[in-house]
A and B are shown apart, each in its own frame.
Chain A
Amino acid sequence: GAGVSQTPSNKVTEKGKYVELRCDPISGHTALYWYRQSLGQGPEFLIYFQGTGAADDSGLPNDRFFAVRPEGSVSTLKIQRTERGDSAMYLCASSRGSLDGYTFGSGTRLTVV
């Protein structure tokens, strides 16, 4: 597609529920990144895919967070047993390679009530 698409744009869920956030990167971009951003802060790295594999998942805060990219294109970030502290903007980005700038999606604003 023309840009990075993230769905849904907003998600409100109850504490303890499971959520999935979807990212559709730019066609042909092999690298895909997930970041989380709290209000007034810079984006915080979560996980980075090169193709289908997670090249670096060191930013995932705990085992409630998991991400997949089974066919090397669309990626899903999954959060189990959500907590109020998970409320944030979740940003996805893609790039052609490690020396290129990222193209970000518009983000999914997750609110856990």
Chain B
Amino acid sequence: SQQGEEDPQALSIQEGENATMNCSYKTSINNLQWYRQNSGRGLVHLILIRSNEREKHSGRLRVTLDTSKKSSSLLITASRAADTASYFCATARGNAGGTSYGKLTFGQGTILTVHP
């Protein structure tokens, strides 16, 4: 298994419903980030949560982090057709100094389809 595995691989919902995606990882981290990608082009940074944080909100996004279970979840509330995209979690490992190595390790992604 790779660092940062998303679950489910694909999710199909109706507009207005909530979408929940999960991410599991293996090694200790400094922070975990979620990205969105439309149509195979560049990724867009959504939210970053640090290892000492448990929950973070940004608009309709809610991210949780459970370092004891090495897992994170991304909740999109009141989904819209425009939320249709692939969603990736990515982890940054920490170093002995308490900062992170810059390199992010990405998972395989969850393909979210929101039907109008």
Question: Could you tell me which A residues sit within 8 Å of B by CB distance?
Answer: 4, 31, 33, 35, 37, 39-45, 48, 50, 55-56, 59, 89, 91, 93, 95, 97-107
Contact = CB atoms under 8 A, between A and B. Distances in A.
B106 A43 contact: yes
Nearest to B33: A101
A100 to B, nearest CB: 8
B112 to A, nearest CB: 15
A10 B12 CA distance: 31
Contacts, number: 74
Interface residues of B, number: 28
Given A42-B88, A42-B108, A99 B42 contact: no
A31 B40 contact: no
B48 interface: yes
A40 to B, nearest CB: 8
10 contacts: A37-B40, A41-B108, A50-B102, A97-B102, A98-B99, A98-B102, A99-B99, A102-B43, A104-B45, A107-B41
Contact of B102 (A55, A104, A107): A55
B63 interface: no
